[in-house]
Chains A and B, each alone.
Chain A
């Protein structure tokens, strides 16, 4: 079992503890993306960025295999708008953990060659500890960087292909694509890992991106989706793998899960409430923020019918409709659905549904074993230290995960034959895509 640590690097606003301030914010911040950056406090954020690095370092010390970084924009709940900067710092200050990008929002890059150069430097400085992960971004990202949603997936594909060529085909060559044009592709600095760094992909609901990953043998990390629906989504990956002529195994599957472990079940339950206490995090269901449904699916972003079973999974089980998972399409965009989406689940509902796992090491180990039985994922990422958690609370979670939960889970995975992508090669270095030349690739004469 490959284990990673994840936090959104929330702008955890200290004023959140003040009920008067909270009440004053509520009318302005109930709608996604309506929080103005006039609320941003640079000095406080500086402390937070450094705190998160301290926690990353501690995670390495206590036995995590990876630090996972993500990217969002215009987001109080995630200050990781430039995760490659954070990755570069981690490359130098850590010595063992993998640096797992889940991921770079590829469609935003108008010059993916700059990204190829950044990632190569990170892989170099870390001596080969980079795991690339590619994501499409949420609607928020398209809005924040005015990125054309109908071409989001096409841009991901083309930018990815361009970067892979830049890393593995000797230059100079020319790239004449649909979205990108380069007449001299020949970056001097290439990644440490040959022929290319390890690769993963991540997502919630898009069939396109899961199919794309499965065709390339990239392990796919489902981001805190409901377990039953996640299992069904993995079946879709397996079908595609069969089409490609291989059997997908646990090395191809990953899962992100919200966990707070503490000294006792009671303490963990209390501290876990902080998951919902962050600053307007629409992904922390139940706090004051909510997502505009239509923004989960900007125009042309998700092709009709290309949704994984994780869409609407929670509605099937009853009245629960987590706003952050309610992907609105022409089929579902009714007045009733819009009203339902405004309702957030309570903390207890989220704990009961397993969307947040809290407890003593013993309790949490049992819950995670059950999830492992169900999903047989070779990688797990623990989402903690989130929302309004203090540094001390976060450090207790990291310590108990590292010293108790992770060893137990690794033993269990070994026992039931669940293997990680670093035990069994998912095929990320050997599959046919590395040898294929894109139609956009053109040889040029040296001069």
Chain B
């Protein structure tokens, strides 16, 4: 069970889904757009009040034509958190949404209860490079993000429906409006992350072919209160490929945080 909510922020609308009860948890989607209310969200809703917004410019939320930077998206999300009256949330960010979550952590500091970064962009890998969406077919990109090809077929398959394709195309466009040169990272971010005392868990698939695992190691090294969790034999889209394992790690993280 989840409900749909719309809020006006900075002249545009942010649409979000929410369900469950407990501590507020905000889930920030990948660059490929929110795929709606997922099994992961159902699991999390058993212990949290889960919020799944379409970030501004993605899905049903209005595109801020003026936005040029991932920080602009984070600032809009911060305004949304305020407008929703959400206090001390757990913020879970996947891929590009992980980068937004990291920027939010820099902005919110102690007002964020827990940060969970899942295959998050935002930092330049010391080894390897972040996959370039400019030269990879939409479908090939999705496939690249799954280690379990059967799971890929189950979630997307060779021929995703028209609505999914539109989300992929629009998501990629919005992504390239806010990150391009450099691609998927910001050199200032690691310096600012040093201030973030928020308890953080950094989750990575051992076979992530989109954002190199070194980015996870860097997040864990730089954030003062962070722990790195590797999910073996899994790819980049962990929320889609391994929702149960990911939900377990998020719950455990919160318990540790309280302890």
User: What's the nearest-Cβ distance from chain A to residue B212, in Å?
Assistant: 20
CA distance A406 to B165 in the complex (A): 48
List the A side residues contacting B159 at CB < 8 Å: 334-336
Q: Cβ of B162 and Cβ of A330 under 8 Å apart?
A: yes
Q: Which residue of A lies closest to B176 (CB)?
A: A299
Report yes or no: A294 in contact with B176, Cβ–Cβ below 8 A.
no
Contacts of A294 in B (CB 8 A): 137-138
Asked, given contacts A150-B173, A150-B177, whether A298 binds B134 with beta carbons under 8 Å apart, the answer is: yes
B168 within 8 A of A: yes
Kindly identify which residue among B137, B168, B173 contacts A300, using a CB–CB cutoff of 8 Å: B173
Q: Within 8 Å CB of A33, what residues of B? A: 135
Given A299-B176, A300-B176, A335-B159, A329 contacting B134 (CB threshold 8 A) = no
Contact at A333–B158, with CB atoms within 8 Å?
no
Q: A residues within 8 A CB of B175? A: 299
A149 adjacent to chain B (CB < 8 Å): yes
Tell me the nearest residue of chain B to A331, going by C-beta: B162
Pick from A143, A148, A295, A338: contact of B180, CB under 8 Å: A148
A336 to B168 alpha-carbon distance, docked (Å): 18
Q: Are B165 and A150 in contact (CB under 8 A)?
A: no
| Residue interface mask B171-188, A partner, CB < 8 A = 1 | 011011100110000000
A330–B176 CB distance below 8 A: no
Question: Is A287's beta carbon under 8 Å from chain B?
Answer: no
> In the complex, what residue of chain B is closest to A335 when comparing beta carbons?
B159
- Measured between beta carbons, the chain B residues less than 8 angstroms from A333 are 138-139, 165, 169
Of the listed residues B158, B180, B181, the one surrounded by the most CB atoms of chain A closer than 10 A to its CB is B180
CB closest chain-B residue, reference A336: B159
A273 at interface (Cβ–Cβ under 8 A)?
Answer: no
Contact between A292 and B169, CB atoms less than 8 A apart: no
Q: When the two chains form the complex, which single residue of A142, A300, A338 contacts B177, counting CB atoms closer than 8 Å? A: A300
Q: Which residues of B contact A150 (CB under 8 A)?
A: 173, 176-177
Q: Contact: A142 with B158, CB < 8 Å? A: no
Tell me how far the C-beta of B164 lies from the nearest C-beta in chain A, rounded to whole angstroms.
Answer: 9
Q: Is the CB of A299 within 8 A of B162?
A: no
Give the residue name and chain of the A residue nearest to B167 (CB). A330
Q: In the complex, A300 Cα to B159 Cα: how many Å?
A: 21
Interface residues on A, range: 20 to 34
Decide: A330 and B165 in contact? CB cutoff 8 A. Answer: yes
CB of B247, distance to nearest CB on chain A (Å): 31
Q: List B contacts of A336 (CB < 8 A).
A: 159
1/0 per residue, CB under 8 A from A, across B150-173: the answer is 000000001100100110111011
Contacts of B158 on A, CB cut-off 8 Å?
335
Residue A146 at the chain B interface, CB threshold 8 Å = yes
Q: Is B133's CB within 8 Å of the partner chain A?
A: yes
Contacts of A330 in B (CB 8 A): 162, 165-166, 168-170
What is the CA–CA distance of A12 and B168 in the complex, to the nearest angstrom?
38
Assess whether B172 is in contact with A299, with CB atoms less than 8 Å apart.
Answer: yes
Contact of A295 among B135, B170, B177 (CB under 8 A): B135
Bound: A137/B7 CA distance, A:
39
Q: Which residues of A contact B173 (CB under 8 A)?
A: 149-150, 299-300
By a CB distance below 8 angstroms, the chain B residues around A300 are: 173, 176-177
Which residues of chain A from 419 to 438 have a CB within 8 Å of any chain B CB? none
A331 to B166, CA, bound (A): 7
Q: Nearest Cβ in chain B — how far from A333, in angstroms?
A: 5
Contact of B135 with A149 in the complex, beta carbons under 8 Å:
no
A146 touches B180 (CB 8 A): yes
* A342 to B: closest C-beta gap in Å: 12
Nearest chain B CB to A412 CB, angstrom units: 45
Q: Name B136's closest neighbour in chain A (CB-CB).
A: A294
| Cβ-defined contact, A149 with B134, below 8 A | yes
Chain A residues near B137: list those with CB within 8 A: 292-294
CB closest residue in chain B, given A295: B135
**Which B residues touch A331, using CB under 8 A?**
162, 165
Q: Is the CB of A143 within 8 A of B134?
A: yes
Please name all residues of chain A whose beta carbon is closer than 8 Å to the beta carbon of B170 when the two chains form the complex.
330
CB distance from A28 to the nearest CB of B (A): 16
B131 to chain A, nearest CB (A): 14
Report yes or no: A142 in contact with B134, Cβ–Cβ below 8 A: yes
CA distance A444 to B151 in the complex (A): 62
State in angstroms the CA–CA spacing of A438 and B47 once bound together: 56
A148 pairs with B135, CB closer than 8 A: no
Instruction: Please measure, in the bound complex, the distance between the C-alpha atom of A331 and the C-alpha atom of B169, giving whole angstroms.
Output: 10
A333-B172 Cα distance, complex, nearest whole Å: 14
* Cα of A148 to Cα of B138 in the assembled complex, Å: 17
Beyond A143-B135, A299-B172, A330-B169, 14 additional contacts (C-beta under 8 Å) are A143-B134, A146-B134, A148-B177, A148-B180, A149-B134, A149-B176, A150-B176, A295-B135, A299-B133, A299-B134, A330-B168, A333-B139, A335-B158, A336-B159
For the complex of A and B, the 7 pairs showing the least CB-CB separation, nearest first, are: A300-B173, A330-B169, A299-B173, A335-B159, A299-B172, A330-B166, A330-B165
Q: Which chain B residues have a beta carbon within 8 Å of chain A's beta carbons?
A: 133-135, 137-139, 158-159, 162, 165-166, 168-170, 172-173, 175-177, 180-181
